Every structure is written in C-alpha cells, then in structure tokens.
Amino acid sequence: MADVQAAKAAAASILQLRHVEGGYAQMQVLWDINFQVQEGTCVVLLGANGAGKSTTLATIMGLIELRGGEIDFLGEPLGTMRTDQRVARGISYMTEKAVFADMSVHDNLSLGAYSCGRRAANESIEAIYSAFPVLAQRRRAPAGSLSGGQRKLVGVAKALAASPKLIVMDEPSSGLSPLAVKEVVGALAKVRADRGASMLIAEQNIAFTEIADHVVVIEGGRVGFAGTVSELEADDALRKAFFGLEG
C-alpha cells in the first residue's frame, strides 16, 4: 500500500530536485537542495535576500551549471540540457524584469508564444485576453506605460503564452507596492483556478503563500523547511521570521 502511494506521488511529480549543488565560479551557493513540484500545484520558494532562491531557479533553467545532484522534469533528467531545450520541454521562466518595456503588450505576449505555431499562439493570446480584459484593452500600449501591477501581469501572461507545463517565477513582487502585490497574487490565483497550472515561485513576500500548496524555505543555500503553509505557520521561529508574529 505504502509502495502504491509512493509510486503515485512519484508519478505526479513534474519537477524534482535531488541533492542539488550550485554556485558561481569559486563560490558554492546551493547545498543539497531537495524538493519537488507536483503536477497542478504551486510551490513557493521562500527566503531572505541572498538566500539562494534565484540561484536555484537559474540552475533549474540551465542558466548556470548543475554542480551536483539531479533535476528531473517530467521524469527526464535535465542534466546539461540547454535552456532553450528546457523551455521547449514546457518550462516557462519569468525573470524579475519579466517584460520589454518599449514593446507593446501584444508584442510581449507574441514573444512569449514564439515557440508555438502561429495558430496556437493566437489562440493562447486570445485566451489570455479573455481571462484578463485589462490586457486586451491595453494591447497596443507599450508595456512600460502600464502600472507596476499590470506590467507584472503582462510578465505572467507572457510566461503563460506558450502554454507551459510549469511556470517558474523569480520574485513577481519585486518593485511593486503592497496593493500591486495583491493584484498579482489575485491574477496568479485566477491562473491556478482557470488552468490548474503548475508553478514554482521564488519570493521573499509572504503574501504569495496565499496561493501555495507547499512552501520551501531556503536559508543560506540550504532547505531550512519544507511543508504546507499551515505547517509553516505552526513553526514558531519561521512564523516570527516571515509573518512577524509572536506566540
């Protein structure tokens, strides 16, 4: 029975990191990182500045080399696969900047969908416009002329445009006001509800745990905690660190 459950859990895993080590030049940043993202779930990678969140994402995307351990995507080891091949396998990556400010909203979305055929790209972009009418209204406007929250929404939509199997996002809250953060969290909640999308979000803003199924806390390049949001809240030290709550 336990074997059957373990097999089911393994089958549902879209991304799995085992004993991952990574870093830059002489500096090792990641030490024995283990976690997984199951299909249709959202994992928030939480941690302070410099904890190693972006480095973890860059390693998953193949932007920096994997120095030890393994990363599997849909059961396939990514090894030394090029970034564009990872994208072609169905991983979409949203960086902190996320959009090209001088390009129109529509051109940003077309760029996001460039790997699809024209017809699939048009269908995908139309689906995005009907889910987020504000983007349809501003489709000809330069992305840089939109509000901070809307600009980030363009970034999310650009990442969605290729209909990825997994969306990896680096600090969607960066540079946003608390109100705009709420807007983005709401948009991601809608994406989850409409598409059942699998997501991995690196954040230091606790607001994103609202849409998380699991939270992985990175501390000094190591996994300090992995569990559900309720388990995070039940941990005294982590509750104080991230929620600023006593007792």
Q: Applying CB under 6 A, which residues contact ligand ATP?
A: 24, 27, 29, 47, 49-55, 204
Q: Give the nearer residue to ligand ATP in terms of CB position, either 59 or 198.
A: 59
Cα 153 from Cα 185, distance rounded (Å): 10
72 vs 96, beta carbon nearer ligand ATP: 96
Least Å from the CB of residue 174 to ligand ATP: 8
Compute the least distance from the CB of residue 199 to ligand ATP, in Å: 17
Length of the chain (residues): 247
Distance CA 76, CA 19 (A): 16
Nearer to ligand ATP, 15 or 201 (CB): 201
Residue 14 contacts residue 73 (beta carbons within 8 Å): yes
Cα–Cα distance measured from residue 179 to residue 141, given in angstroms and rounded to the nearest whole number: 22
Contact (Cβ atoms closer than 8 angstroms) between residue 39 and residue 12: yes
Closest CB 163 distance from ligand ATP, rounded Å: 27
> Closest Cα partner for 165 from 8, 15, 7?
15
Q: Which CB, 49 or 230, lies closer to ligand ATP?
A: 49
Q: How far is the CB of 220 from ligand ATP (least distance, A)?
A: 9
